[in-house]
Amino acid sequence: MNTRVSAMLKITIPLLAAAFWIQGANARQATISDEPLSDRRVAYTMHVKLDPDSKTVSGTQRLTWRNPDSVPVDELQFHLYLNAFKNENSTFMKESGGQHRGFSAGVQDSWGGVDIMRMQIAADPVADVSPTLPPETGLDLLDRIRFIHPDDDNELDQTVMAVSLPYSVQPGESITLDFDFESRLPEIFSRTGWKTGESGNPFFMVAQWFPKIAVYEIPGQRYVPEDAQKGRWNAHQFHENSEFYADFGTYDVTISVPESYVLGATGLLESEEITDGIRTVRYIADDVHDFAWTASPDFLVYTDQWEHVALRLLIQPAHQAQAQRHFDAAKVALEYYAEWVGEYPYTTLTLVDGIGGANGMEYPTLITCGTIYRLPKWIRALEIVTIHEFGHQYFYGLLASNEFEEAWLDEGVNSYIETRLVDAEYGPGSVIDFAGFQLTDTDAQRIAYTKNSPSRGALFTNSWEYPFGDYNKASYVKPATVLHTLERYLGWETMREFLKTYYDTWRFRHPTTRDLQDVAEAVSEQDLDWFFDQYVYGTATFDYKIYSLSTRRIDTVDEDDASAMYESHVTIERTGDGVFPQILRATFRDGSEEIRQWSGEETWIEMVFRSDEPLVEAFIDPENRILLDTNRLNNRRILQVDADSSLARTAQLRLISFIQQLLVVFSGIF
């Protein structure tokens, strides 16, 4: 293609795509509802500008917060997440050592942070929030700022800020604050910042980048006792092993970038204009608890549609051949989550092909996916990441559980649905399907759990309190395996009703582990304390195995059982401190079977069978329902009775053993 024509197309096509995107966006609203979906305790209005040379975002922020308590509040608390990258003394840097998810901090221009130049009570608050306006309106609050450290004794950490007010915000009333701030973006190694792309141009992922008010929990909300005299702020420092927690509200954000930059953000694109080489866009987002955006001159823009959701893909030029794979995966996710969990209420979804440590992250209506050049279709890494990150729109986004304190309610529940969805859509080779070798997503998650000290790490644990290496297991693969086991115990129809009821009951309300269990028990009409105490609040593990199997011909028979010719004994051993109800299937030489149920409580149990045929096989959990069993290779034992049947069954067992060992090997690679 002619170079000049190619250059013109590179400019024209994204502009046309943007024009159609804006036209479509202006014809819709940010959600499918005409009424607020959340209680909207907070509202943000921002005007900011990106300076690519200094790697800074600077501007103004107006924040309005409403007191949800029945008593006055005289202090506000804020997250300043970017201060985690301010220096090597932050709690995040001390815990991570400058490494996160396989990426390392750079040696130059790697630091970031937030500087607040002005913070004052607004002199002219917006009319629609009607805040209380005492005489102190307009008072500067900079000298009232102090940094607090609720999780450790690191006085040098500046990721949580408290501000004492000159007057109390009365119950149900609001306060409006004005900020001037500048955010210095770090070189990306963990979620946010900038990175130089293959073209030499910078890529920006601007996430957790502004002064963000914390969640004020009122009596009866989450773990605040109902009889407490007042609520409390829930604000934790930014840790290596933690993500985020915030209240729902509205965002109105205007962003200016150089004209050559393509930009994507949370919410709905309201307007876009170019003046004097500067592109200025305005995004609005309703009923969300965060706002993130990305910008790069290299992005190629593709658009698509799924029912009421406008899809927009920002992809690196080297990966444009995989654009359709991104859309296909996103549509699969939208379809299944809508059917299994509930309706996606937003009208937009932006997919970002980021760089390095920015990928594999979720923000309201915007996810970072990531891929590699010429990724083969028999490895579905792109699809799995896209589906997983979209799923966070529900458990991180719409339910908004506290990821500092109960990460599994987001990461784990989402991982469970991801594995079930991926296996349902793509079949036995849902993760890898190559040269006859097939690996499912459920198997990959289970193996990662069983081979990585499964007894360590309870699901219900503060994220920063996990010992080294246990956070990922206890927040992702272990809860996925726990919930798969619960599903197979309760049945899929009950589990599906539980998921939908949990979503319908708790969206926009910050549920807890206790709330999730209450819904599960109400839907199943069962007391599940035995399950949650062991495998959610506790660290119980188990391995049930066939310890021995024997059969003998009986020379004399009892009068009551004159037909019995063989007596067979099956001894089962339970190792570990976990208990789970079991099923034993006994198979006899003529192919007949007998099923025995067992509570699973004893450490040892012997079962005796009398039959006119010898017992040839004993199988604990033959339908593979209890995925928490840490070693399924010893669940089955075959007794050699005659050469033909023995050879066939032994060969089958060895093949199964070989395949499971392969799964262990491949799970360590991927």
Please report the pLDDT score of residue 38 as a whole number.
98
Q: Is the pLDDT of residue 124 over 70?
A: yes
Output the six-digit token pair for 358: 């920015």
Q: Is the pLDDT of residue 7 over 70?
A: no
Question: Does residue 261 share a domain with residue 391?
Answer: no
What pairs with residue 118 in β-bridges? Answer: 180
Question: Does residue 225 share a domain with residue 95?
Answer: yes
- For residues 598 and 572, the answer to whether their CB atoms sit within 8 Å is yes
Establish if 292 belongs to a structural domain: no
Confidence of residue 123 (pLDDT cuts 50, 70, 90): confident
Distances (CA, A) of 36 to 30, 399, 618: 11, 15, 58
Q: Is the pLDDT of residue 607 over 70?
A: yes
Question: Does residue 520 share a domain with residue 559?
Answer: no
**Percentage of residues in the chain with pLDDT exceeding 70?**
88
Q: Give the CA dihedral 504, 508, 512, 513, nearest 10 degrees.
A: 40
* Domains: count for the chain: 3
Which domain CATH number covers 588?
Answer: 2.60.40
3-state SS record for 607-623: EEEEECCCEEEEEECCC
Question: Does residue 491 share a domain with residue 412?
Answer: yes
Nearest to 498 by CA among 475, 525, 469: 525
Q: Is the pLDDT of residue 472 over 50?
A: yes
Establish if 291 belongs to a structural domain: no
Establish if 557 belongs to a structural domain: yes
Q: Write the DSSP string, 652-669.
A: HHHHHHHHHHHHHHHHHH
Question: Does residue 242 share a domain with residue 206?
Answer: yes
Q: Write the DSSP string, 8-64.
A: HHHHHHHHHHHHHHHHHHHTS-SBS-SS-SS---EEEEEEEEEETTTTEEEEEEEEE
Determine how many CB atoms are found less than 10 A away from the CB of residue 344.
Answer: 24
Which domain CATH number covers 416?
Answer: 1.10.390.10
284, 314, 338 - which closes a domain? 284
Question: Does residue 178 share a domain with residue 248?
Answer: yes
pLDDT digits (tens, 9 = 90+) for 286-318: 999 999 999 999 999 999 999 999 999 999 999
Q: Is 111 helix (H, G, I), strand (E, B) or coil?
A: coil
Establish if 515 belongs to a structural domain: yes
Least-confidence region, from 377-386, 465-474, 516-525, 592-601: 465-474
Question: Does residue 566 share a domain with residue 486?
Answer: no
Confidence of residue 28 (pLDDT cuts 50, 70, 90): confident
Q: Is the pTM of this model over 0.85?
A: yes
Q: Which domain holds residue 482?
A: 299-525
Establish if 571 belongs to a structural domain: yes
pLDDT digits (tens, 9 = 90+) for 265-277: 999 999 999 999 9
Question: Does residue 575 share a domain with residue 653?
Answer: yes
Question: Does residue 610 share a domain with residue 510?
Answer: no
Nearest to 384 by CA among 354, 414, 344, 347: 414
Average pLDDT over residues 462-479: 95
User: From CA 372, how far away is CA 264, in angstroms rounded?
Assistant: 21
Question: Does residue 334 share a domain with residue 207?
Answer: no
Question: Does residue 633 share a domain with residue 556?
Answer: yes
Output the six-digit token pair for 642: 């005659």
Please report the pLDDT score of residue 103 as a whole number.
79
Establish if 22 belongs to a structural domain: no
Please report the pLDDT score of residue 560 as a whole number.
60
Which domain CATH number covers 268?
Answer: 2.60.40.1730
Output the six-digit token pair for 541: 């593990």
284, 313, 329 - which closes a domain? 284
442-460 as b/e, with b when 16 or more CB fall inside 10 Å?
bbbbbbbbbebebeebbbb
User: From CA 654, how far away is CA 639, in angstroms rounded?
Assistant: 14
Establish if 596 belongs to a structural domain: yes
- For residues 63 and 213, the answer to whether their CB atoms sit within 8 Å is yes
- For residues 140 and 114, the answer to whether their CB atoms sit within 8 Å is no
pLDDT digits (tens, 9 = 90+) for 491-522: 999 999 999 999 999 999 999 999 999 999 99
Average pLDDT over residues 236-265: 97
Establish if 665 belongs to a structural domain: yes
Average pLDDT over residues 571-599: 97
Please report the pLDDT score of residue 282 as a whole number.
98
User: From CA 340, how far away is CA 351, in angstroms rounded?
Assistant: 22
Question: Does residue 280 share a domain with residue 303?
Answer: no
Confidence of residue 656 (pLDDT cuts 50, 70, 90): very low
